[in-house]
Amino acid sequence: MRLLRVRINGFKTFAEKTEFTLDGGFIAVVGPNGCGKSNLVDAILWGLGEGNSRHLRAATAQDVIFGGSSRRKAVSLAEVHLTFDNSDGGLPIGTSEVTISRRVTRGGDSAYAINRVDCRLRDIHDLLADSGLGRSGYAIVGQKEIDQALAASAEDRRAWIDEAAGVQRYRARKTESLRRLAQAKDHLQRIEDILSELESQREPLREEAEVAQRYRSVADALREIDLGLWLHELKEATREIDVQEQTIASSARAAADQARFADEIEAAARRLGEEIGDVESDLDTIRSLQQANLSAMERAEAEIRLADERLASLDQLECALRTEAEATDLAQLQKELEDARAEAEEARSQLEVAESTHSGSGSTVKGLTASLAEKESELRAARDAEQKRTRLLATAQHQQERSNLLRRELEGAQRGLPDLVDALDAATSELDQAQAALNLVLERKSTLEGDIAAARKKQDQSAEIIRGASHRRAVLDGRRRGIEATIAAHEGMTQGARAVIEAVEKGLLKDHYLPVGEAIETPVELAQAIEVALGAAVNDLIVDTDVAAKRAVEYLKSNRLGRATFQPIPLMRASVVSPDLRRVLAERGVVGRASDLLSYDERVRPVVESLLGRVVIVDDLDVALRLAKSSGWSRLVTLSGEVVHGSGAVTGGTQAKAGIGIVQRKAELASILAELDDMEAEVERARLDAEDSNRSYQELIQHVDALSAEERDARKSFDEAKDFHRTLQNERQELERSLQKIQSELSQLADANVEVGDALDLAPLEEERDRLMQELAAAREAANRAGSELEGLRRNHEAATERAHRARRRMEAATETEEKRGRRLELLDPERAAVREARARHEEAKAVAATALAAADARLAQAQERRKDLLQASLEKSEEARAARANLQSLQDTSMQAEIARARWETKRANAAQRLIEDFSLEMDEALAHPTVELPADAASTAARLRREMKSMGVVNLGAIEAYERLSERLDELTAQHHDVSEGAEQVRASIAELDKLTRTRFVDTFGLVQTAFSKQFDRLFGGGSGELRLSDPENVLESGIEIDVTLPGKKRQPLGLLSGGERSLCATAFLFSLLEVKPSPLVVLDEVDAPLDGRNVERFADLLRDFSEAMQFIVITHNPSTIERADVWLGVTMQEPGVSTLVPARFADRKVAAELVERVSKKGPESAPALI
């Protein structure tokens, strides 16, 4: 048995479909770290049925699905197909090839198949058991498992020996047998408890059954007497009701005439009341008018008083203004102003003369000073010119050459400046475009990130809806199954009805029997009311013919299976809706006639009409009590289950025992099925929404990734444009500074390029300077004297000017005050006239208001007199109406007495009819037409005696007869069941003993072989030393652990914990290969188990692999050149695309070529292996 082919799709990093054939015994899997080599091992392990996600290096089952990369989307499922060569029959299945398939989706759905036939995970485990590829096997081993082989406890290490011995299946069977044995013991205990309880009930129940038989015979005799008594009461009540109805009709006619007369009187009284109301309204209007006129008079008087006060105030103001004007002297102020102005003018004239004198002296000084400065300047300039003359002659040539050079540089810079400006403008435009592109990308990315958050929120909402709906669906589905099971078991039916149904199911009765409760469909809100309305009739059986009913009765009697009530369709008569019933149905609060509120087959209509045709469903008990005095119905049933009987009796409250009947069960089942359909639709909508959200989310993620790349490109372009723009700006600034510098230097050279004249004569200039200095000294002395005089005159002029200004300001203030006073006096007369005019208007308004007030007083007196007359007339009409109503009440009382009497007889008739319906199934029409039953004179006393006899029996359990029969049957069944379970338990114990014997034998034999093989493999791998396996508890072979004792070459025996990493790896390898030698595995996968080994040890390990590969198939993940060199086939795993593994198989027929490649791998490192392949 070998692994022929592996096909992987969507598993971890194997995103694409990857299929390869394994046609060698020794396959090396090579490739760089992180390329997915271990994922290949995980795929094989997962395909073989590994269920622990941690062993697959995954957090959840869905984590093995390829999750996407920077270039690829995530996939929706992962699948692995492993095809084995089974030509040697290594697997217990009749095909030469066996393909094991496994699939998982992101939705959590898992699928398994063997040879493309769906199966369970357990079926795969059972198929691979004892093949070396089981769950506890040693087919797939990594560094962790190699180390755990030594680090594990002795008990855990035993599992490897059990796998080699092939006893894992026996252990599983023993565990299952022990579980079954425990269940059998529990079952026996329960049966024994029930038997004990039922035995204690048998004798008391037998005695109750005998009492029940006597009770039935007495009840039958009483039933015959009650029928005659109730028929007599029904007919007597019917006659009395007719008499009372005639009395009610005559009283009603008289009351109608009296009511019309009373209405006419009351109408006249109401008209008088309306007139009184109109008069009252007029009175209110007149009083409002009075108040308004009175308020107007008061306002006019207040305005007049205000006008008088204002006139007095104006007179006082005029007097004050005139007194103030007389106190002001403008002529004196004018004289003071003219004197001040004359004084200031004289001071100004003196000042002008002094300023003229001082100005002449100053001008002379300034002229001489200027002439002296000019001469000194000429003298200095002449000296400087003479000194520079020689220097200028020396540098003139150099300046000319520098000027020419700078002009050429200036021309070149000016020519390049326009090009640089154009380039800078273009760079600025590119920078703006790059900035705009970057902003657009950032804005789109921000929008998409918001959309991603919304999509994620929608995903969470859909998932929450699905979880909630799934939970509710599970609850409803459980309730549905319970109700369906209850209906199927005919729970709640009487013994007789259930016996008939079971006889039909067994073929003992051929006719069709349909329970009434199953024949009708009712809305869930009406179910309780219909159940109560039907009562015990809900379990009646509808039959097509009376012959079928007879056959069923004979069957029940012959087999002593109880009683049942049958409803033969041809014998049923539908009730007619009477006028009284129609009136009741039209009342407020009435839901309807019970038979009209149901759905049923038209075939059973007569039965439904017979049972429910005169039953009325109402909202609540208040409505039922309100309608209790009406007629035409047999029962009033409320929605909550209360009943008002035709006799007037009221039934209600709560049931002593919780539970519902078949009608409510069916209604609830229909409601649950409808709700389940709605739930399925809701889940489907949520699932579709979740899929749409997931697709949108993935698309948005891809868009964001693409925008991130665009953002990087846009940001890069923006940075490049920004750098280029900054460079051009710097170049422009540098060029402009160069231009300024050149122009500045040219200007300086032009200023410095002066002509060089002849030598100057300085003596005349010095003599002229001395003369000017003497004249200047004399002129300065004269100017100082004139300045002192000028300063005194200036102070006199400023004082005189200030006095003139003060006089002018006083004059202006007095003039302005006089003008304001005059204007105010001019305004007093118009204001006084306006106040007098307003006072006159208020006097006129006061007179008008007084006149209107007098008229309103007169109207008020007239209206009050009119109201008095109307009140007297209204009082008289009210007295007449009261007398008419008293007469009407008397007539109504007479009618009421007749109504009460009729209601009393109707109650008696309804009670009798109800008892006849309930006890004798006689409708009222049938009862009235029924012949009178001849009764003895002492019928009532006989009935009383029979009731006393029944009462003396106490509480009688009428179901005791059927219960006693069922109890006896149940005891017989449990006794037989106890015997069967006891025999089964003994068989299980024998099976466990046989399994223990077989397990012990096979384990001991296999352990001995593994001991020998371990010693041999240890010696081969270590080149000496000794290794030994022993039982930790030889006395308990079935539970004993496995201990390992080793002695390395040249060393003493030491514990496993003190071995080095390489020594532990070799020791564990020896243990593994000893197991493989005893029980070869068709496939062994080793994941870098040679990593801790050094040179010589690796060669020994590789040689051992090579030898074992003749009989077994090895897949080895390795980086070691020695191991790679000895492999028949290489499987190169690479990751040419980030996050996606690619498999490249290669076979080397020439070992020399392989050796050369291995040498190159050893030099360049294991990462070069895929590239070489």
Q: What is the pLDDT of residue 1169?
A: 46
Of 88-102, 612-626, 1074-1088, minimum mean pLDDT range: 1074-1088
pLDDT at 1171: 42
**Mean pLDDT value of segment 516-539:** 86
Kindly indicate the confidence band of residue 765, based on its pLDDT and cuts at 50, 70 and 90.
Answer: low
In angstroms, rounded to a whole number, what is the distance separating the alpha carbons of residues 53 and 44? Answer: 14
Inform me whether the pLDDT recorded for 266 exceeds 70.
Answer: yes
- 3-state secondary structure at position 923: coil
DSSP 65: B
In this structure, what token pair is assigned to residue 404?
Answer: 């020419």
pLDDT of 972 reads 84
- The per-residue pLDDT for range 578-604, each reduced to its tens digit, is 888 888 888 888 999 888 888 888 888
**pLDDT score recorded for residue 9:** 93
Residues in the chain, total: 1173
Rounded to an integer, the average pLDDT of 1140-1168 is: 57
Beta-strand runs (E) in 580-629? 590-593, 599-600, 615-618
Give the burial class of 672: count Cβ atoms within 10 A of its Cβ; 0-12 exposed, 13-18 middle, 19 or more buried. Answer: buried
**pLDDT at residue 229, rounded to an integer:** 81
Positive/negative CA dihedral, 589, 592, 593, 599 = negative
State how far Cα 419 lies from the chain centre: 64
Least confident of 168-182, 335-349, 639-653, 1118-1132: 335-349
Higher-pLDDT residue of 927, 246: 246
Mean pLDDT of 1055-1063: 76
pLDDT in tens, 375-422: 666 666 665 665 565 555 545 555 565 566 656 656 665 666 676 676
Band (372; pLDDT cuts 50, 70, 90): low
* Greater pLDDT, 424 or 44: 44
* Structural fold of domain 493-573+585-594+603-649: Taq DNA Polymerase; Chain T, domain 4 (1.20.1060)
Q: Which residue has the higher pLDDT, 362 or 1065?
A: 1065
Instruction: Say how far apart CA 676 and CA 358 lie, in whole Å.
Output: 125
Would you tell me the crossing angle of helices 1095-1108 and 960-1022 to the nearest 10 degrees?
120
CA distance 270 to 276: 10
pLDDT tens per residue, range 541-563: 999 888 888 988 988 888 888 88
Q: Which residues lie across from 2 on neighbouring strands?
A: 85
Mean pLDDT, the chain, rounded, equals 77
Rounded distance, CA 884 to CA 892, Å?
A: 12
Residue 678, judged by CB atoms within 10 A of its CB (0-12, 13-18, 19+), counts as exposed
Determine the Cα–Cα distance for residues 241 and 836; give it in Å rounded to an integer. 98
pTM exceeding 0.75:
no
